[in-house]
A and B are shown apart, each in its own frame.
Chain A
Amino acid sequence: MKLFLSYSLSPTDYQVASLLARQAQNKGIIVESSQHQPFVAVNSLEVTRQAISTSDFVIAIVSLDSQFAIHVQQELKVAASLNRPCLALVERGGYPIQQIPGVQYVEFSRYDIGPALAHISDILEMKKNQGILNKWVLGGALALFALYLISRSGDK
């Protein structure tokens, strides 16, 4: 299983991406993720496209006050064009992410995370009814875990 993690996080949430990737890697999942810095003499989006094309699932996370939401949007477009199963967690009130057909969006508020959890539960239920739950189990699990980590971001 290979996961592509697309993210734009505020500084207080930086550890969410690393903890999520680490947890997935501990379970034998290969994780590749966004690279926001420009590469010298290399088209980074093409490298990203290659990474997404070989991924089994794409998770995107956009939190408030983050800088790279537009990059995430580009990566979501790539994922949708490649028909990758894709779940995007978008924090309410942030950058207005344009909805792309084929991408499953979940809006969340870190102070009231329940509705987002229920939404992910509903998505898994829908995928189960469509007979494709297997493809979505790990993606759904990692999305739930991401929301857990975000809800714990301010903990000391």
Chain B
Amino acid sequence: MANTSLNLSALNDEEFEDLIDAIFRARMLRQELEQPVSVESFQLSVVSVSRSGRGTDEGLDLLVTTLVRDCIAPREIRWLIQCKHKAVSGRAVSPSDFANDFSFIEIVKHHDANSYLLACSTRPSTKLQSRLDKLTKDNQDRQFIIWDAARVCEEVLRHEELVKRFFPREYQRQRDVVDGGRVRDWMLQYKEAISPDACDALSQIIAIDKADTAEMGGQK
């Protein structure tokens, strides 16, 4: 499993699904249609998120609709999303983790989706990755994508509210790290290397007591 600061193994299956659901809800499109195309507007391209009920999910955990635009027309993509949570065992997700008769293309068609995303809390096996890569290559109008644990964690870390909700200890750790006092102590540790101008610069983005920066300034 990816060695990130987020401990996915602390989540149960339902919480992991909640987490994936929350990642997309955090990217719900708001007023971006009126805004120029930017990286930020692509980050917020989710139009809707719906969740399958409990019980047999027929290969579906979430259905997420995103909006893609080019200079000709906007169009929607309906992503069928399936979650596989193996973080506790640390085992890779392999084809055997799906029902014997599981066909990725059929399940996408069955749910009237355009593309498929597997979100897993570990990593895919080489065989599964190859299979989905081949499906993407062979189906020009559909994509079959895998998010591994590293990608899931990267998505979570983009949204402070998700870190706070699902990983409260990590949230507190991050809060402590950016505490002005800790940054000041670190600056003091390196006062021989950091010039007065650099101290002043850093104090513009971190709340450090002016007296502290004055103490450090002029050390170089």
Q: Does A35 contact B42, Cβ atoms closer than 8 Å?
A: yes
Q: Which residues, 174 to 220 on B, are CB-close (under 8 Å) to A?
A: 174, 177-178, 182-183, 186, 190, 192-195, 197-198, 200-202, 204-206, 220
Contact of B190 among A114, A122, A142, A153 (CB under 8 A): A114
CB distance from A153 to the nearest CB of B (A): 8
Task: Tell me which of B2-10, B53-61, B87-95, B104-112 binds A.
Answer: B2-10
- Whether A14 contacts B68 in the complex (CB less than 8 A), given A121-B220, A138-B205, comes out as no
Alpha-carbon separation in the docked complex, A140 to B158 (Å):
23
Decide yes or no whether A48 CB sits under 8 A from chain B: yes
- Using Cβ atoms and an 8 Å threshold, which residues of chain B touch A117? 190, 193-194, 198
Shortest distance from the beta carbon of B119 to any chain A beta carbon, whole Å: 13
B197, A142: Cβ atoms closer than 8 Å: no
B39 interface hit (Cβ, 8 Å): yes
**How many Å lie between the Cα of A141 and that of B153 in the bound state?**
26
Contact of A11 among B2, B38, B42 (CB under 8 A): B2
CB distance from A5 to the nearest CB of B (A): 10
A141 to B115, CA, bound (A): 42
Whole-angstrom distance between the Cβ of B61 and the nearest chain A Cβ: 20
Instruction: Choose one: B37, B115, B158; the contact of A47 (CB below 8 Å).
Output: B37
A22 CA to B200 CA, complexed, in Å: 20
| Cβ of B75 to closest chain A Cβ, rounded Å | 8
What is the interface size of chain A, counting residues whose CB is below 8 A from a CB of the partner? 48
Interface residues in B74-94 (C-beta closer than 8 Å to A)? 77
Contacting A at CB under 8 A, from B109-151, are: 115, 143, 150
Complex Cα distance, B190 from A115, in Å, reads: 10
Q: How far is the CA of A151 from the CA of B182 in the complex (A)?
A: 12
Interface string of A10-45 (1 = CB under 8 A from B): 011011011100111001000011010001111000
Please, what's the 1-or-0 string for A123-134, where 1 marks a CB less than 8 Å from any CB in chain B? 011001000010
B-chain residues with CB within 8 Å of residue A51 when the two chains form the complex: 38-40
Given contacts A19-B174, A41-B68, A14 and B197 within 8 Å (CB-CB) = no
Chain B residues 1-24 with CB under 8 Å of chain A are: 2-5
- Taking the complex as formed, is A50 at the interface, i.e. its CB lies under 8 A from any CB of chain B? yes
Tell me, in angstroms, the Cα distance from A88 to B109 when the chains sit together. Answer: 46
Residues in A neighbouring B5, C-beta threshold 8 A: 12, 14-15, 153
- State how many angstroms separate the Cβ of B157 from the closest Cβ of chain A: 4
The smallest C-beta distance from B70 to any residue of chain A, in angstroms, reads 6
| B window 42-73: CB within 8 A of A | 42-43, 68-70
For the complex of A and B, the 9 pairs showing the least CB-CB separation, nearest first, are A121-B195, A141-B201, A117-B193, A118-B193, A11-B2, A18-B157, A114-B193, A121-B198, A11-B4
Q: Given contacts A15-B170, A32-B39, A141-B204, could you give 15 more A-B pairs where the C-beta distance is less than 8 Å?
A: A12-B3, A15-B4, A18-B157, A19-B177, A22-B160, A33-B39, A35-B43, A39-B42, A41-B70, A50-B36, A50-B37, A117-B193, A137-B204, A138-B201, A142-B205
